[in-house]
Amino acid sequence: MTFECVCKTCDKKFRSQKKDSTICYDCALEHFTGGSAPEEGDFNSAALLSGEMSDAEAQSLQEDLESVDHSREEVYWNRMVEDYCEEPDDHRWDYFEERDKDE
């Protein structure tokens, strides 16, 4: 369900997922960038603030971004462990267990 809202910054009418949204996407993007070129997360932040992106869409996006971040960490972690283990029978799993205790 979307709601018809009016931006308090520029008086433009816009549709939002949030009933009480008071800022349109363009003004929200301007708010985050301060007139500079937008960075990667600014577009999503503006969509969330303006209500053009629902909370469910934001949660799904966050999960996608986290899975990408974690997949890169796994690659680096595996590479580090492989460098650590010189022999195939080296105590590789003990190393994993020590890492888990530190976290």
Query: pLDDT per residue over 33-46, tens digit each?
Result: 998 999 988 998 99
Tokens 């603030």, residue?
49
DSSP 59: H
Q: What is the largest CA-CA distance in the chain?
A: 69
Return d(Cα 69, Cα 61) in angstroms, integer. 12
Confidence of residue 73 (pLDDT cuts 50, 70, 90): low
* The pLDDT of residue 80: 56
Q: pTM of this prediction? A: 0.60
Residue 11 has pLDDT above 90, yes or no: yes
Tokens 């937008």, residue?
38
Strand partners, 13: 6
Confidence of residue 63 (pLDDT cuts 50, 70, 90): confident
Return d(Cα 64, Cα 44) in angstroms, integer. 13
* The pLDDT of residue 36: 93
Domain residue spans of the chain: 1-53, 54-103
Find out whether 51 and 86 touch, Cβ atoms under 8 Å.
no
* The pLDDT of residue 86: 55
Return d(Cα 57, Cα 67) in angstroms, integer. 15
- CA proximity to 48, closest of 40, 39, 57: 57
